[in-house]
Structure 1
Amino acid sequence: MPPDFVALDKAHVWHPFTPMQDWCAPDHEPIMLVDGEGCWLTDQHGNRYLDGNSSIWTNIHGHRHPRIHAAIKAQLDHVAHTSFLGFANPPAAQLAGELTALIPGGRLNKVFYTDNGSTAIESAVRMSLQYWEQNGSPQRTRIISFDAAYHGDTLGAASLGGIPLFKGSGNQFGYAVQRISSAEQLESLDDVTSIAAVIIEPLIQGAAGMRVWPQGMLKQIETWCRAHDVFLILDEVMTGFGRTGKMFACEHEDVVPDFLCLAKGLTGGYLPLAATLTTQRVFDGFLGDASEGRTFFYGHSYAGSQLGCAAALASLAVFREERLLEQLPAKVTSFTSVLDTLRAHPHVIDIRQCGLIAGIEIGKSKDPREEYPAADRMGVKACLAARRHALLTRPVVNTLVLMPPLCATEGEMQRMAEALRASIDEVCGSD
């Protein structure tokens, strides 16, 4: 008799961002995902669902892509993982070369590997602070971040964020952070000599409810950073690898940061791997005799993992071989048309879109002041209802996230929108 995996899960597993009392209730049967192909996932009962948030914003080319599968299997014939501390390996070296080649003019020519978005951010911030400390500006200890930002859940990354819910108990920890709300507020700061870096999610904030930044804001921030010799850190953990219609969101405004933080879609959504790209200037600031203590003493056990790098190389190959970037503008246009079918719904307050990323905000009426109280968990209820219409996604409070894999067809995107419409009707009513 096969194991009862649901019972084992309820008995022993603690899930992230999940109210566990509801999860463990006797009448709740969790969806146990057991299979996937393309945009579709299959549960323990054989029910199929569209992957409406790309498996928490990670999956790029769909599930079980043959090119990525073959690359992982081929790497397994050699070695799965070895230490990256004082050792090298071919996939990591090749991937670093390919990633840096994606940046215009080779301006980000150094790659530091970790294993998730939070640690990619930690690397960038710690490099910034250590650079200034050991290169003549030890007073530069302040990090500028933005209201409602989200940069991860490790202590340092969480301290950068502007959403108290994600910062845990206490909330007083981490880096010296000053939060602002706009580029204009950045330009009005008086004391800039103590600022080490500015960090931002380019074009769109994810955990803030898919909040889209004004056009031109990113370029404005880059211009200010260059004028004051302040490092610019871009968190492209969500927006990287085609999500916004270009390989990286910063390309839309011809911005090249000092640090580019990548994770989630880096491996096509297959394996944990992150990369922090930076400049020759930053790298040179850490050079010196070992006795000088200028080494960057930070790293992770699975940094530069061969399997992760093999998957990432295959994902980049898919972009080239399937000419995905050329297809994205038409796909984004189709996605916009699909989203437009929801705009007239009486309980859809707003739809915010950036490329193939969208947030559909629901409320009591079209009046933004008529929002549902967060305690009512209407976004959660709508996403649970969507499961009955073969769609899996998660909300940000009352904003329903729709972020299909890049391989989604117009028909699949339309089915996703239809499932959301039906779920909103069930939870909020159709008039």
Structure 2
Amino acid sequence: MTHFSANSPHARDIASVLHPQTHAGRHQELGPTIMTGADGIFVRDDAGNVFLDAGAGLWCASLGYNSERLAKVAYDAMRTLGYYQIFRHASHGPAIDLSEKLLELAPVPMSKVLLQCSGSEANDTAVKLVWYYWHAQGKPEKRKIFSRRGSYHGSTCVTISLTAKPDYHAGFGLPFDGFLHTDCPNYYRDALPGETEEAFSQRLADTLEAQIMAEDPETVAAFWCDPVQGGAGALPPPRGYFQKIQAVLKKYDVLMVADEVICGFGRTGAMWGCETYGMQPDMISCAKALSAAMQPVSAVLLNERIYQAVVRQSDKYGAFIHGYTYAGHPVCTSVALETLRIYEEMDLIDHIKSVEPVFLRELGALTDHPLVGDFSGVGLIGGLELVRDKATKENWPGEVGLGARIDQHARANGLILRIVGNRIAFSPPLIITAEEVRELARRMRATLDAVYAEVSAL
């Protein structure tokens, strides 16, 4: 076991902190990486090591890791109105201004904004709104919700049920009944020999239709989807996918909810992933880049169809009984609103479009490496698919610990990666420059070379 002095941050962390997504016992031996500062897209730890973060933290640090401008906005907001709630007809300027701005930016016509505190809360709330809507239509039996295998939609009990990753359910007695999962649209892995992307998309849409029919369409309430599937390793959809899926949803009157928590605010090269892929959702959840991760804030955008159901249910029950203490917090909404102003001033979408070709070219070039079978991406999000054999697409066996080896060598090369199963997901801060993308790719290739030298000798 590694020994730390009793008063060091490492020892105090081990003694007091339970870390999410962390092996609890191993953490007692290894201790934490203590981050102490940042400069743009780079972070540094207490040993002086500097890392290029290729994942923007948890997909969220869109403007990097420090901002004097946003810090001042938060300070001024806290001095003016450090807290107030938006329950029971109460409101304040930042909540109103942010809601109006989100409706202005929405990719399809939306009616209202329901402010929340996290992406998980936004998706959890949207599930409640789906059920609320169908109750208002006199169809409470329309309750089942489909999401896609490999998806991630949050960590509450409901949103982890939407999340179609069995390891996230193990030991918790989850998922809840009524949360159903359809195909992950991984063309590289799952297409039939000679099958085009359009044909693959049609096959997945046909499968979804068959599943809806098997469940009875009068029991199916909604379909949940992120434009680029983050939980599957930054996986863009194949050609024609959402058009074919939406045709099925429309046929059976199934609501579509777009989880834009990762993709919203520029990540795909448009303000919303819905714009990139021609999606027409009934609701949109967003978070992360909404405040550049500088404050915990999220939102659900709902169309008029959903809103009118809320009005009817308010008449029936006396109020819309839902809310969180910190939802619409004046400091958080002030920072989010200023973040959106920064995006406009820096011409964020034009910047992303200018860097996108370099991002796709430099990371796509890594497909010549023996460990890489494929790369797919859009905007400033994409993933490398790892293989043992390029011809058969065989995976490395689990006992090799390929992901752990890649993570170790990446950190030795000053690179923080997000490894998701057989994919390495890239979603760097949106301020990344073309030269920084080249540096990212250089460090990635050095990492792959070091790992391949190890595993090829096994």
Same-fold call, TM cutoff 0.5: yes
Aligned position for 1:269: 293
Match of 1:184 among 202, 206, 211: 206
CA 1:364–1:217: 2 relative to 1, 3 Å: closer
Per-residue CA deviation, residues 271-323 of structure 1 (Å, 9 max, x unaligned), is 11110100122112122586721643222221011121111111111111011
Give the structure-1-normalised TM-score: 0.93
CA positional deviation for 1:147: 2.0
Any conservation in 2 of the 1:359–1:401 contact (CA below 8 Å)?
yes
CA positional deviation for 1:102: 0.9
Per-residue CA deviation, residues 367-406 of structure 1 (Å, 9 max, x unaligned), is 4543112343311221221111111123112322221111
Match of 2:220 among 195, 206, 216: 195
How many Å separate the matches in 2 of 1:64 and 1:130? 40
Aligned position for 1:95: 98
**Number of residue-to-residue matches in the alignment:** 427
Match of 2:269 among 238, 245, 249: 245
- Give the 3-state SS of the residue equivalent to 1:342 in structure 2: helix
Any conservation in 1 of the 2:151–2:164 contact (CA below 8 Å)?
yes
Match of 2:253 among 192, 207, 229: 229
One-letter identity of the residue aligned with 1:278: L
Determine if the alignment matches structure 1 residue 371 to structure 2 residue 395: yes
One-letter identity of the residue aligned with 1:14: L
One-letter identity of the residue aligned with 2:33: I
- Give the 3-state SS of the residue equivalent to 2:13 in structure 1: helix
Any conservation in 2 of the 1:37–1:64 contact (CA below 8 Å)?
yes
For residues 71-86 of structure 1, the aligned pairs below 5 Å read 71-86=73-88
Match of 1:300 among 310, 324, 331: 324
Aligned position for 2:189: none
How many Å separate the matches in 1 of 2:148 and 2:274? 17
CA 1:289–1:248: 2 relative to 1, 3 Å: closer
Aligned position for 1:7: 11
CA positional deviation for 1:183: 1.9
| Gapped regions of structure 1 (runs ≥ 5) | none
Determine if the alignment matches structure 1 residue 145 to structure 2 residue 169: no
- Give the 3-state SS of the residue equivalent to 1:168 in structure 2: coil
CA positional deviation for 1:210: 2.5
Match of 2:22 among 8, 18, 23: 18
CA positional deviation for 1:149: 1.9
Per-residue CA deviation, residues 5-38 of structure 1 (Å, 9 max, x unaligned), is 111011111111111222221xx35321111121
| Gapped regions of structure 2 (runs ≥ 5) | 184-203
CA positional deviation for 1:175: 5.0
How many Å separate the matches in 2 of 1:184 and 1:299? 38
Any conservation in 2 of the 1:134–1:294 contact (CA below 8 Å)?
no
Determine if the alignment matches structure 1 residue 134 to structure 2 residue 142: no
Determine if the alignment matches structure 1 residue 110 to structure 2 residue 134: no
How many Å separate the matches in 1 of 2:375 and 2:277? 23
Q: Which moved more, 1:340-349 or 1:77-86?
A: 77-86
CA positional deviation for 1:249: 0.5
Aligned position for 1:315: 339
How many Å separate the matches in 1 of 2:239 and 2:69? 36
Percent identical residues: 29
Larger relative helix fraction: 2
How many Å separate the matches in 2 of 1:214 and 1:46? 42
How many Å separate the matches in 2 of 1:369 and 1:290? 54
One-letter identity of the residue aligned with 2:424: L
One-letter identity of the residue aligned with 2:320: F
Aligned position for 2:44: 42
Aligned-pair RMSD on alpha carbons?
A: 2.2
How many Å separate the matches in 2 of 1:194 and 1:294? 27
How many Å separate the matches in 1 of 2:315 and 2:427? 49
CA positional deviation for 1:109: 2.1
CA 1:391–1:276: 2 relative to 1, 3 Å: same
